[in-house]
Structures are given as C-alpha cells and as structure tokens.
Amino acid sequence: MLNYRSASIAYFILAALVLLLMACWLKAGWLLVPLTILYVILLVLGSVKICMGFYIPAHCKIDTLENKALLTFDDGPDERFTPAILEILDRHQVKAIFFLIGRHAENHPALVRQMADSGHAIGLHSYGHAFWFDLYGRKKMERDLQHAEGITGEITGKKPFLFRPPYGVTNPVLAKVVKKLGYKVIGWSVRSLDTIGKDAEKIAERVILGLHPGAVILMHDTVEITPAALERIIAGAKEKGYSFAGPDEWLLEPTASVVGLPDKLTG
C-alpha cells in the first residue's frame, strides 16, 4: 500500500541510485528533478486527500455491500441549526456522528448532552478548528486535541475516540499525535457541499446521486440550509432503497469513561 513511509523509502532509494549513477554519467542528475517533483506531488495529495490513507489510516466508508449509509456532521454544535437537525434525525429514527469543535461544545453543553442522550456518536474536530491547525507543532496539536477531548468527555461522561481532522488535512505530525491519543480517524465518501450550496434540493440531489453501499456522508450542522437538505436526503435515500446505519453498527466504540482525565486541559 502506498503511504508516507513506503513513498519516502522508495524516493530516497531511487535518489541514492541516481547519485551513484552520476559517478559514471553526470547528466543522470536531471532524473532527480522529475523524481522530486513526483514525490512532492504525492506528499501534497496525501495531505489533502484523507481517504488515500497516506499519512493516517482513515475510515471513509462502511464495510458493507448493503445499501446503507452513515450521516456525519462537522463543526457544531450550533444553537441556531443543531436543534433542528437533531429533531429531524430523531423523527426519522436516524443516528449520526457529530464531529464537534471543542470551543463550541464548551459553549453549548446542553446540545452535546442531547446528542449523546439521543444515541448519536460524538467525535472530535479539534478545539478551535484553526486555519493553521495542520501546521501546529506536535505538542501544540496534542494540547489542542486533549483540550477538546477533555471538554466533550466531561459533558458526555465518555472519552471520545473518533476524530476528523480540520479540513480533512493530514500530515506526519498529526499521524503521530493521533496514534498516541488512540483516535480512529473518520473521513467521508460523499460530500454534500452544504457550506457553499444555495439550494437545498440541489444539495440533496448531489448526495443521493453519490450514494453507494457503505457511503459516509459529510454535512455540517452550522449551516442554515442543512436542515432542509437533510429532510430531502433522508427521504430520497429511502426512496432509492437505502437505510441509515448507526455508528454502533460498524464502529467498535470503547466503553471507557472519562475517569482519569484531568479536570481542566489547556489548549
């Protein structure tokens, strides 16, 4: 499998061979240019394409051949739109994963408890969702995630173990932090584009057309148009013969409580 480690080993072996070849044929040095360009392209693609699993293994679909899909929501909770989304999910008896921004969870603990009490899974989406999060050093990144973990853990009584990187960007530093903290990284296979869409019908149509067995759908509970799109997605998916899987159907969620977590973690 092509990943950061295997790609780096291959690059340095080939680069070393080119350098040895230059001892006999100096012009062979030009081979380093396309080789390095290809390596850099792989590093960039591996960073922005979470489902490549280049830096971190990521779960981007449910392991099933059945017509089942999983709904996921990023960036909440939001007092304006999250309640409507929770009401829709409850009415249709659909469970989802909410990847929470720690500072939002801190400001709206009642919504987080409502999610957990309704049987939805709670995941982490960092504490502040900073634009430069993926450029943090290891210690700063770890503190950020532990801060978010401590907040959601204190509210729900369970240590969160699901994680979706901000913007879906990964790198070697994040890979080390995720491994140390024991998180399971969740990507997606269907993007709703609800953050840029202006028409709920078109957003729903995009999702429904993209459905496939095991689809993981990416939405946001911080966008005004999402509740209307969600209603159409659930109805359209059912018409297409799809049901919605609960996180517990395919994720082996640890039952660990938050006992042992510090009372306060700084970001």
Q: Both 102 and 74 in a single domain?
A: yes
Q: Both 30 and 69 in a single domain?
A: no
- For 35-49, the pLDDT digits (tens) are 999 999 999 999 999
Q: Which residues contact 7 (CB under 8 A, 6 or more apart)?
A: 39, 42, 43, 46, 54
Number of Cα atoms under 13 Å in the Cβ half of residue 215:
23
Domain assignment of residue 99, given as a range:
58-249
Q: Closest Cα to residue 194, out of 212, 216, 221?
A: 221
Q: Both 26 and 154 in a single domain?
A: no
* Rounded Cα distance, 173 and 191, in Å: 26
Residue 74 falls in the annotated catalytic set: yes
- Average pLDDT (100-125) is 97
- For 137-182, the pLDDT digits (tens) are 999 999 999 999 999 999 999 999 999 999 999 999 999 999 999 9
Residue 50, burial from CB neighbour count under 10 angstroms (0-12, 13-18, 19+): buried
- For 187-233, the pLDDT digits (tens) are 999 999 999 999 999 999 999 999 999 999 999 999 999 999 999 99
The active-site residue, picked from 108, 144, 220, 221, is 220
Q: Is residue 53 part of a domain?
A: no
Q: Both 14 and 91 in a single domain?
A: no
Q: Is residue 254 part of a domain?
A: no
Say if residue 108's pLDDT is above 80.
yes
Say if residue 91's pLDDT is above 80.
yes
Residue with tokens 């922005």: 48
Number of Cα atoms under 13 Å in the Cβ half of residue 116:
18
Mean residue pLDDT of the chain comes to 91
Query: Sorting pLDDT into bands at 50, 70 and 90, what band is 251?
Result: low
pTM above 0.75, yes or no: yes
The active-site residue, picked from 74, 78, 134, 194, is 74
Q: Is residue 113 part of a domain?
A: yes
Tokens of 159: 């240590």
Q: Both 154 and 195 in a single domain?
A: yes
| CATH number of domain containing 138 | 3.20.20.370
Number of domains in the chain: 2
Q: Is residue 259 part of a domain?
A: no
What is the distance of C-alpha 164 from the center of its chain?
3
- Average pLDDT (26-39) is 86
Q: Find out whether 184 and 212 touch, Cβ atoms under 8 Å.
A: no
| β strands within 54-199, DSSP E | 58-59, 68-74, 96-100, 121-124, 162-163, 184-186, 190-191
Q: Is residue 18 part of a domain?
A: yes
